[in-house]
Structure 1
């Protein structure tokens, strides 16, 4: 199943925003963008990149509030329970789509209790290894794993993450078995891969590209719909013989269910303008290795439903549980 995103126009949303220039989020105080992860990660960075331009365009202070825990569920629930008045928004990451399968007792419904605002964009997951490892490409990794089942190990940034689930799909498609080491964060996984404690690791391009550029890691596969400019010599999974095997880290914005459509339209337009600024776009493309989408709400809704179906099936079929 492909995860390619079709970019849709947002002229209708921008028109709605322009038709109501006096519209402001209701209620006193700053607008909150809740990031359901700790400071320092890519989601936090994206939120802070957008917040300055948002404040200028919305005419109110915009603050980023980090509420981490339970794979993003704690911060997400805070937004679900917030008043739908345009004062509170959620900016979250790809693990959002795995929550229903990974946490069956989740106290909210992602599609019923949140309204979509924008799919900001995505960055492909990448498999990398130490330069002295024998794997030159995905075919070489698969061949080595077939030759010695359960001998070639891989690390990810956590159990049930999209990286972990991508490797589960790869093993299913290739008929291989590779032991998994789940790390509590990208830095730890990178360090152990560089040190040789794990044969390969999977992580977002934003995490791995600096180490590839610096020569401490070699990228052997990327899982986006096309090659990244920063990894132009590295095959996509489709080019390596696994069509449809795509996995991207992505960032999306949501509102509490019932947020008035004009407020959603206005936020969508403000996000598009803020993230399209040359300085911000360059940082997104270079620092986060992002492919910007800047979608309308229906496109985000369709994308999230697809992600929930795809990755939820992998979680259930492999009886995966959170760390």
Structure 2
């Protein structure tokens, strides 16, 4: 068999990477979460960490690097050596970074390789039980009757919750006043206290107050009803087809990380999240719908998310906090 000149030139370059992949992992692995400790992304990473440590045979450490809407930690992974020792576990706002922060020092799709789409959880509009809104149509009608009088809280400008309400306003020709909070807990507390008319957040964020009876869910924005919210209609069921928004978590590697490492990490992640105890934790605490889809799932999913939410950011000139 005769090798081409290109193959002969590539062979010396491929050999070290192959050897490295065969001996990986040989030391601690970092999963960088580009947000502060205590949020859902941090929780998901820490839920996965023990199972990864067990399956890979080395310590798997979660490192929080928050700041600039998640771009600081994401940039650190994009710039890291592609040696299998650094990985990114991030959240839905990842898709809005290029539109919100056009001067990013990295390319979202060119500098990071997709590894695994873990899953998602629907965004939910919730109100105090004494509020009159029983459906999404009630909210739209109230906003139409008094433009800008109705307000809602979210976890910040440019978050998917905020952008979902922007999309709702655009589709229904209504306007509501947005109150951006620096954190989900603050938005929840003010909604429970009655300082804000309603809020939008991930199902995981509002679930504890719903269970306690302090908030009532009005609508969920997933493609189907969440088992924990089986009595709450989706937006499509409420007469607003195509209006979907889900929080999601995904894992990425620095571009150029050997395929064998990515495949092994992806398999270890799938096995960890498939563990019955971990699966139950994800379902109960994060209200998650597990997908566990590999690069062939995450890559086109991310492209669609970037196009949808990035387009909304640009069209409505949304500014980051």
Q: Is the 8 A contact 1:126 1:203 kept in 2?
A: yes
Inter-CA distance 51–24: structure 2 relative to 1 (3 Å threshold): farther
How does 1:226-245 map onto structure 2 within 5 Å? 226-245=224-243
Question: For residues 105 and 24 of structure 2, what CA distance do their matches in structure 1 show?
Answer: 27
Residue aligned with 2:109, SS: helix
Matched, 1:262 2:257: no
Report runs of 4+ in structure 1 exceeding 6 Å deviation: none
> Which residue does 2:22 correspond to in 1?
23
Question: For residues 101 and 222 of structure 1, what CA distance do their matches in structure 2 show?
Answer: 26
Question: For residues 102 and 35 of structure 2, what CA distance do their matches in structure 1 show?
Answer: 20
1:23 positional shift: 3.4
Residue aligned with 2:168, SS: helix
Question: For residues 194 and 57 of structure 1, what CA distance do their matches in structure 2 show?
Answer: 42
1:230 positional shift: 1.2
> Which residue does 2:96 correspond to in 1?
98
1:29 positional shift: 3.2
Question: For residues 178 and 72 of structure 2, what CA distance do their matches in structure 1 show?
Answer: 27
1:283 positional shift: 0.3
What per-residue deviation string (whole Å, max 9, x for no partner) do you get for residues 178-219 of structure 1?
000000000100111111111110000000011111110010
> Which residue does 2:279 correspond to in 1?
281
Question: For residues 30 and 123 of structure 1, what CA distance do their matches in structure 2 show?
Answer: 30
2:195 to 190, 193, 197: 197
Q: Is the 8 A contact 1:80 1:256 kept in 2?
A: yes
What per-residue deviation string (whole Å, max 9, x for no partner) do you get for residues 22-42 of structure 1?
93425x531000000011111
Paired residues, what number?
Answer: 302
Residue aligned with 1:268, SS: helix
TM-score between the two structures when normalised by the length of structure 2: 0.92
Question: For residues 23 and 47 of structure 1, what CA distance do their matches in structure 2 show?
Answer: 25
> Which residue does 1:171 correspond to in 2?
169
Residue aligned with 1:203, SS: strand
Between structure 1 and structure 2, the one with the greater Rg is 2
Q: CA RMSD in A?
A: 1.2
TM-score between the two structures when normalised by the length of structure 1: 0.92
Task: Name which structure has the greater RCO, CA cutoff 8 Å, separation 6+.
Answer: 1
> Which stretches in structure 2 are left out of the alignment for 5+ residues?
1-18
Question: For residues 107 and 181 of structure 2, what CA distance do their matches in structure 1 show?
Answer: 28
